[in-house]
Chains A and B, each alone.
Chain A
Amino acid sequence: MSKFILRRLLIAIPTLFAISFVVFAILELSPVDPLGNLPLTITPEEREKIREAMGANAPFHVKYAKWVVQFVINEPLNILEQVTGIKIGDSEGRLRYISYQTRSPIVDLVIQRLPQTLWVVGTAYLLSVLIAVPIGVLSAYKPYSIFDQVGTFFAIVGYSLPTFFTGLLFIIIFSVNLKWFPSVYDTTHRVTDMQSLLVQLRQIFMPTLVLALYFTAQISRFTRSSMLEHLNQDYIRTARSKGISERAVIMRHALRNSLIPVVTLVALGIPAIFQGAIITEQIFRVNGLGQLLILAIQGGDLPTVQALTFIFAVLIVIFNIVADVLYALLDPRVRLS
């Protein structure tokens, strides 16, 4: 098993290098200008000097080499130092990967924003798994019943409505008309007691719901089909004929087996939910990684876009490995060779 994981990790390294090069090259070749938002009153000659000072004019290979060094060596060391508190080498003089927009190290921005994304994305995912699996099981247990029909309807609606639409719809209903939930996420809010936790829950309610709607639909459909497949298997009939209670048949026999592909789907879906968060965070002004990415794209802040795109790529690769490993762990029939 450990051999398998190790091999997958080693294969991931060249994959990530290839991705990093493609990401860097594509973005570097784009004609976006980090100074595009400056007032036109600043003359082109001055812009040229500003670009020079930002390092935006360096040749491609120099920029890429710097990028790799900073990303692979310097920033991990910085994070290690921050976590452990141990100084490693010349930490003051180390080159940092600086954003064009903020002139501050990008990794700091990422660390600052990760918790919000995890709050929203994490609760949304948890919520959708909690809701979706029972719905899926029930739908499969009584296929084509009214419950199943209603479930199917909502799944199709949830799956096909884009988050930017449902987000806006929720704001109009819950913020503008009912005034139940805030439409703007307050980043300065700190959770210290029950009262403030309630405030926090209230302000992540809408972004969470928007994301959850989408994923509930997907996961419940998947659970349903997987469950249906297993309910028709011979071993279920055997279990039933042994006189085991219906509840035990469903929960212990059918559900357990049908969850194997669902778990893989859940693991594989995690990077996707990060992407879904990009739009949701922008709508509700949650200062997560997704919003950082959008702002960086709008501002022509190439280093930040490159860093975030790469981080998303890393997440996808990692969760792919996790999904593979989980699958192998859960289903002994899967061979690792």
Chain B
Amino acid sequence: MRKSALRIAVLVLIVAMTMGTLGFAVAQEGDTLNILYWQAVSTLNPYLSGGTKDIEGGSLVLEPLARYNELGEMVPWLVDEIPTVENGGVSEDLMSITWTLSEGLVWSDGTPVTSADVVFTWQYCTHPDAGCNALSKFTDVTNVEAVDDRTVVITFGVPKPFPYGPFVGAQSPIIQAAQFADCVGANAQNCTDQNFYPIGTGPYVVTNFLANDVVEFAANPNYREEGKPYFQRIVFKGGGDAESAARAVLETGEFDYAWNLQVVPQILDQMVAAGQGQLVVSFGTSVERIHINHTNPDSALGDMRSVWVPDGSNGHPFLQVPEIWKAMSMAIDRDLIASQLYGAAGKATCNLLPAPAAYASPNNEACLVQDIAGANALLDGAGIVDSDGDGVREYNGIPLRVLYQTSTNAVRQATQALIKDWWAQIGIEAELRNIDAAVFFGNDLASPDTYGKFYADVEMFTNNYDGTDPEAYMAQWTCAEIAGPDNDYLGNNISRWCNPDYDALVAQMAQTGSLQERAALAIAMNDMIVQDGAMIGLVHRGDVSAISNSLEGVLMNSWDSELWNVADWTRSN
């Protein structure tokens, strides 16, 4: 009896030892590139994707006409030059843009890429039943026309000072007309094979697709650049969580590249110390900010909760008072939040628009230094004092108690806790609340917990914009964009902040062509948003990925797909 059990135990041990001592093949060698995204790829068609991971996976195969490099500059990709007014590619009245495809472009199946494919891509995405998520790229496009095999003219219904929306960047690549011909409109949803195995012009072709798990790519034999890509095979694994993804690159060395590592900085530092790999960081336009509700979120109001009324009668009882939101901003130590909670991936900022450099305002640096005493003095000076001795100040008899909500996420909860403490020191009491991201960022009309409904006094999240032109992003703050029941809470102006002067700037920008003037306008708009208390900027957030020490040529990019130059990646010996 005892013997047999012992025998089994010994056997198991021996098997384990032999399996173990053989060691596992370290992935960081040879011409296979192992990429790990902790959110698995669900589809390779970026037009139907549910997140960045799909767009980046698709970017290995599908390419746009032009894209952004690591500095946020536009670079020609499937064309030889970027059309501008100077070279005649953009018409004088800014109503049309003409793209000319490079000569001899072919799809991975060997057939030529023609302007018909570009036209088809526009028709595919803008079909009303398609459910395409890149529609905003095609805003105001009235026609896309193939002049000849290589020339495409895009016509706009209004003058477009920045006509580089359609077919620029990872979100709106060109798809092959022949492959997707039967997938137009409602059929788009049923074209599983096409969505899983798109034919593209990129450096790789899909050889095996397991949805929500792993994608295998092989080098595209028809790729336009001789001798590229270096890696003959890519294994694009997905799933798990950010921390273990970082570990797989930095500690166990099983993978070459791990994406989007929102991990506590101290833990990441420890992993880097293992010496297998390093972190790469880049900064785009993402800013973690606190939106201030300019309407009254009182639950007693019923249907009128957080609803903006043009005459201002439903304004917030105290958050529109400049001294109050200024003091709230002054009390925050942004550097502490950035260094302790974001590490390499965060820089303190007070702005809404932190990049590109030409658009970043230099006028709001004062708030970068925490000043609790100053905040207290400001409130005292305005007569907003704690009259009943409970530690909370009152404004017109209303105690300064705020409900502060955000999505569930360890870093956000830590930020909330810090800020709650600082606000307590200036006599403002915060009640904290966190809501699951899928609910908070959802648009379920029946749910009271979405960020659009904003049934709270302040709420915190990150937003950004694609590409480098902030016009559409800044236009989200106009009075007409205020989220409310009349637009099913789909408006973009979450703070419900309305300033006619700001609307005028937005209108002016829509008619300004010069890049310099546009930058000046963007700075003025940013300053108005910051200095009029529409929001409190906290941290300029970067993107962090990990790469193995042997991987070379990675140029971390926040303006386009992180994998934008994968054809140039190589492995050192």
A residues within 8 Å of B by Cβ?
31-55, 96, 98-105, 108-109, 112-113, 130-131, 134-135, 137-138, 141, 147, 171, 174-176, 178-184, 186-188, 198, 201-203, 205, 247, 250, 282-283, 285, 287, 291-292, 295-296, 298-301
Contacts and interface: CB of A to CB of B under 8 A. Distances in A.
A98 B190 contact: yes
A33 B22 contact: no
A111 B346 CA distance: 43
Contact of B488 (A48, A55, A178): A48
B441 A36 contact: yes
Contacts of A41: 136, 463-466, 473
B509 interface: no
Question: Which 10 interchain pairs have the tightest Cβ spacing?
Answer: A53-B131, A33-B442, A44-B490, A180-B20, A31-B447, A287-B213, A37-B51, A36-B438, A101-B42, A102-B211
Interface in B1-40: 1-2, 4-5, 8, 12, 16, 19-24, 36, 39-40
B192 A181 contact: no
B133 A183 contact: no
Nearest to B192: A104
B418 interface: no
Interface in B35-82: 36, 39-40, 42-43, 45, 48-52
Contacts of B441: 33, 36-37, 40
A161 B533 CA distance: 50
Nearest to A202: B19
18 contacts: A36-B438, A41-B463, A41-B466, A42-B136, A47-B443, A51-B443, A52-B131, A53-B188, A102-B196, A103-B189, A104-B43, A180-B20, A180-B24, A181-B24, A184-B254, A186-B237, A296-B212, A299-B42
* Candidate in A34, A109, A187 with the most chain B CB atoms within 10 angstroms: A187
Nearest to B466: A41
Contacts of A53: 129-131, 186, 188-189
Interface stretch (B243-251, B317-325, B564-572): B243-251
Given A134-B4, A180-B20, A35 B442 contact: yes
Given A35-B443, A183-B252, A250-B1, A46 B136 contact: yes
B489 interface: yes
Interface of B is mostly: loop
Nearest to A50: B131
B20 A178 contact: yes
Contacts of A38: 49-51, 133
A249 to B, nearest CB: 11
B266 interface: no
Nearest to B45: A103
A104 B195 contact: yes
Contacts of B16: 205
Contacts of A131: 8, 12
Contacts of B442: 31-33, 35-36, 300
A295 B212 contact: yes
Contacts of B40: 295
A43 B490 contact: yes
B350 interface: no
Interface-central residue, A36, A50, A299, A300, by most chain B CB under 10 Å: A36
Nearest to A180: B20
Contacts of A35: 50, 442-443
B537 interface: no
B240 interface: yes
Interface in B272-301: 274
Nearest to A100: B50
Nearest to A304: B212
A104 B489 contact: no
Most B CB within 10 A of own CB, among A48, A98, A134, A285 = A285
A202 B244 contact: no
Contacts of A182: 24, 252, 254
Of A45, A130, A184, most buried by chain B (CB within 10 Å of CB) is A184
A335 to B, nearest CB: 35
A97 B290 CA distance: 41
Report the contact-size class of chain B (Cβ under 8 Å from the partner). Answer: 35 or more
A62 to B, nearest CB: 16
A129 to B, nearest CB: 12
B135 interface: yes
A33 B214 contact: no
B378 to A, nearest CB: 32
Contacts of B244: 171, 183, 283
B210 A287 contact: yes
B159 interface: no
A309 B188 CA distance: 27
Contact of A198 (B22, B192, B235, B274): B22
Contacts of B130: 53
A175 B23 CA distance: 10
Interface in B114-145: 128-133, 135-136
A183 B216 CA distance: 19
Contacts of A296: 212
B255 A184 contact: yes
B208 interface: yes
A51 to B, nearest CB: 8
Contacts of B235: 186, 188
Given A35-B50, A295-B212, A180 B136 contact: no
A130 B270 CA distance: 40
Nearest to B438: A36
B492 A43 contact: yes
Contacts of B12: 131
B424 interface: no
Contact of B136 (A43, A282, A291, A298): A43
A123 to B, nearest CB: 12
B452 interface: yes
B239 A44 contact: no
B181 interface: no
B446 interface: yes
B444 interface: yes
B24 A201 contact: no
A135 B20 contact: no
B491 interface: yes
B520 interface: no
A103 B24 contact: no
A203 B189 CA distance: 36
A103 B483 CA distance: 30
Contacts of B8: 130-131, 134
B195 A181 contact: no
A141 B2 CA distance: 10
Contact of B438 (A32, A138, A178, A184): A32
A31 B237 contact: no
Nearest to A48: B490
A130 B214 CA distance: 33
Interface in B479-510: 483, 487-492
B355 interface: no
Contacts of B136: 41-43, 46
Contacts of B491: 44
Given A32-B442, A247-B1, A287 B51 contact: no
B195 A103 contact: yes
B489 A31 contact: no
Nearest to A131: B8
Contact of A112 (B21, B24, B49, B210): B210
Interface string B454-471: 000000011111100000
